[in-house]
Amino acid sequence: MISPPIADGLNEKQQQSVVLNEDVNALILAGAGSGKTRVLTHRIHYLVSEKNHHVDDILAVTFTNKAANEMKERLTSLLRQPIGRMWVGTFHSLAHRLLRTHAVDANLTPTFQILDAQDQFRIVKRIMKENGIDETKFPVKKIQWFINQQKDEGILPHQIDAGYNFFVKQSAKVFDLYEKHCQANDLVDFAGLLVKSYELLKNNQNLLDYYQKKFCHILVDEFQDTNRIQYQFIKILHNQNNHVFCVGDDDQSIYGWRGARIENIQKIESDFKPIQVIKLEQNYRSTGNILSASNALIANNLNRLEKSLWTASGDGELINVFNASTETEEAQYVVAEIQNQFNQGRNLNECAILYRSNIQSRVFQQSLRTHNIDYKVYGDVRFFERKEIKDAMGYVRLIENTSDNIAFERIINFPTRGIGLKTIEEIRSYSVENHTNLFQSSIAVVDILPARAANALQTFINLIEEITDNTKNLILSEKVDSILLQSGLMAHYSKDKTNKAGTSREFLEELVSDAAQYIHEEDLEMNETQGFIAKNTLDSSGDSNQNNQNSVQLMTVHSAKGLEFPVIFLTGLEEDLFPSSQSNDEPHLLDEERRLCYVGMTRAMQSLTLSYASRRFIYGISKYSRNSIFLDEIPKSFLNYIKNPNSDYATTLYEDVKSPPQKIVSSSSSSIYSIGQVVNHAKFGHGTILNYEGSGDSMRLQIKFQKAGTKWLISSYAKLEIV
């Protein structure tokens, strides 16, 4: 019988999952809001408390740093003991730990550096330049994407068959040169962490045997989001003596565009035998109407593991549907509804506006600003990706390890100290010819440089050596603080007169706070500073952990995965926008778009509004569209259609204007226009105003020109002359 502390708060299916027989593998099909995190943590609690497994013998894999931290906190609370060195984290962090522990076996040094996306971009760009590969024909970002895509599939350069595809041939060439560069310079990128970890285990039977025996239980969260190399990593660790416990929901597989394979969760039953499948279908988040509508929508995907969410909390409100005339009107309606929610006592951070594409956010931001409503846009630059933080960490990295060439190049002339590109090229050339790192090369070339260049370079060398000496006995937070002051970074960002200056200084101060709060896991392979650097780099690739301040939350549906809000506005439900036009000819892409819509709908706890515009301004062109197929797939019994009082007027396309002129005021130019009025444009000539939308600086006029046809123009930029 399961003990009360473990059973506490669990329903029947959750309990069944937690106490599942140890001799079988498990697939827990956990629908949205069904308590999968609770099941995972309680399963580990059960294995440790009831089955007497040591926490070090359990491997728990999450997909975000946030989820990993939450799991650690819950386990610490449940087990009432520090979990210490338990192997819990993201795929990347666990792979990093494995490689640090066995660096030599992986043909690395214990101090290897992790490349973030920006570092990787710069290296690829330089390799292409050195090898005469034209960026205009082969964009760096496209090559970078190709490299990472191959790694996510577990494919190495020599395994690529380019055939007659010249792009693939050139990309494979760069990939090969890039890998050789990384190997020579002790560098590993994010995708490479998994590849190298898999290869390490695959090519070292003794090591594989050790970890297969060590990890008696392997638990994986969000299994539907695994890519090929992640799946292979779990598969190679599994044998007949240990067991996997996979939690996921194929209906929430929305990352196909970045390598996730929905087939992984679909084939798990055949690859991990014997296996028991348990469905968690009771939802603790949303109302009955929201769930029923979501179930009806996702049922249109045929190749899915069937499940149907339900709730004991009642039907709740019907789902509102609003048909706006334009995206501006859509934004105005949504913001007005948020204002109503606020007036009724709801906090702003309980409301979220979701959209398919980031380009949709502009009109919502504009309308929120107009109404003086605070808002936050998800997708802002993450803390560890900010320039000032990367600059600061560049100094920390170089002072910790003068062999870190990436850090050297970032900070050698920042803040500006008179070291030009010619000097840097001289250092690079010496480094290549003499097989030394850039810092050693800079010391060597000082004597052969012109006096001015030599003085500037020597000043930098002295600075690094002085900071190193001054900080060697300081604790981590004091070291970071001292580096910021001695490097001149804090002074540089304090003197900066741009509107971001204060913010930049605050972010640097926050870095010191982060260092003070950093808890170093005892690891013989890394000291405290090295551990902080590694955490910093890994965090830059993960999820954002920003505070949910009291403001309306704006985000893409992809960003909303894993979140929930009492009030959700799911916007832009139009054909070719949501679902995306890319799905028109490929059924599997339409299925993923439908899953994305399902995810968006199931973020709502109490109130859900679906909206779409009959006409939308996209990339400078006003386009008419019909409502999304997804709206047609939801039974009308769950929907409440909101009447739009402006729909008849606003959707009229004026071909011949016979009605009395309607005055339109453009505040930016103080001009007064009228529907039916003839105007002249410097490029398009004479035309007649047919319609307008918006107001103020963003107001647009629809004008039918005699020769150029009908166009939409922003009034503040059009410089129209009234005829």
The residues annotated with a catalytic role in the active site are: 36-37, 221-222, 252, 603
Q: Are 327 and 616 in contact (CB under 8 A)?
A: yes
Range 406-409, long-range pairs (CB < 8 A, 24+ positions): 406/113, 406/115, 406/119, 406/122, 406/123, 406/187, 408/437, 408/438, 408/439, 408/442, 409/122, 409/438
Cβ–Cβ < 8 Å for 377, 342: no
What ranges in 414-500 are assigned the alpha helix state H? 421-434, 438-445, 451-471, 476-487, 489-495
Q: Are 379 and 358 in contact (CB under 8 A)?
A: yes
Residue among 337, 248, 290 nearest 28 (CA):
248
Q: What are residue 188's DSSP bridge partners?
A: 114
Burial of 482 (0-12, 13-18, 19+ CB in 10 A): middle
Task: Find out whether 17 and 38 touch, Cβ atoms under 8 Å.
Answer: no
Q: Tell me the two tokens of residue 2.
A: 């399961």
379: its two tokens: 């997708």
- CA 627 to the chain's CA centroid: 28
**Token pair of 157 as six digits:** 């350069």
Amino acid at 310: W
Non-local (6+) Cβ contacts of 530 within 8 A are: 111, 400, 401
- For 159, half-sphere exposure in the C-beta direction (CA atoms, 13 angstrom radius) is 7
User: Parallel, antiparallel, or unpaired: how do β-strands 604-618 and 243-248 relate?
Assistant: unpaired
3 state DSSP class of 30: strand
The amino acid that residue 79 corresponds to is: L
Find the DSSP H helices in 90-165: 91-101, 117-130, 140-152
Using CB atoms within 10 A of its CB, is residue 165 exposed (0-12), middle (13-18) or buried (19+)?
A: exposed
Encoded amino acid at 569, one letter: F
On the CB side of 594, how many CA atoms lie within 13 Å of its CA? 27
Q: 154: alpha, beta or left, given left = phi > 0 and alpha = psi -120 to 50? A: left
Task: Answer yes or no: are the C-beta atoms of 690 and 702 closer than 8 Å.
Answer: yes
